[in-house]
Amino acid sequence: MTIIEGKVAVVTGAGRGIGRAIALELAGMGAKVALAARNASELEQTARAAGAATSVIPTDVRKRDDVHRLLDQAASTLGPVDILVNAAGIGVFGQVTAFSDEDYDAILDTNLRSIFMICRHVLPSMIARGKGDIVNIASIAGKVGSPTRAVYCASKFGVVGFTQSLAEEVRQHGIRVSVVCPGSTDTTFSSDPHREGKVKGKMLLPADVAHAVRMLVTQEPNSFISEIILRPTQKP
């Protein structure tokens, strides 16, 4: 198993839910973690819970200048980025005929465009060093479409396709790009109609997704798990 102690990780969406769990997992393994999200107070709570070397960098991943500042500040304060986890995401749900342009733009900009911008900015350093791990958090909704989730599914299908293509583009440089597709997870995604009536005790926990990320970033150098589909043991 590869040891990540002392490595530099950037985690977006680190203020809550899956992103927070991943940040805590990596910090617990000894990584130096840059915590990114829009809500500074939530990031501070994550940093206190981590009790380790972390850097709080409030970031709106939809904005290119924020993305550049995040990665430049992480590199200058912690060191070159070894691990990038794109976990920031939002969901707005409803019939396509009633869907607003503003909600469409917010979902695509947060869930997909941000990943493109962040990867584009962090990759030159990884390529120059011949190593790096990028993990993009998608969803089962990136594998199977469903009603009232058309735009959300489009964003997550995009994450899966982007990840698969980027992985082939940079694997020759020693960089692994993987995607994790969790099923129903007990987070604050309360506006999703597909969560209504589901049993919380049967859903995945954010820590389950963090465990999958742990497995990806601790692979031996000649190993490459490109995709993980994660489901609850029982249908919730």
Contact 147, 190 (CB under 8 A): no
What is the distance between the alpha carbons of residues 204 and 200, in angstroms, rounded to a whole number? 8
What is the distance between the alpha carbons of residues 197 and 114, in angstroms, rounded to a whole number? 32
The crossing angle, in degrees rounded to 10, of helices 114-129 and 64-77 is 30
Q: Which residues contact 196 (CB under 8 A, 6 or more apart)?
A: none
What is the distance between the alpha carbons of residues 214 and 201, in angstroms, rounded to a whole number? 23
Contact 181, 195 (CB under 8 A): no
CA 166 to chain centre: 15
Contact 210, 18 (CB under 8 A): yes
Catalytic: which of 93, 152, 157, 162? 152
Could you confirm whether 152 is annotated as catalytic?
yes
Neighbours of 32 (CB within 10 A): 23
Catalytic residues: 152
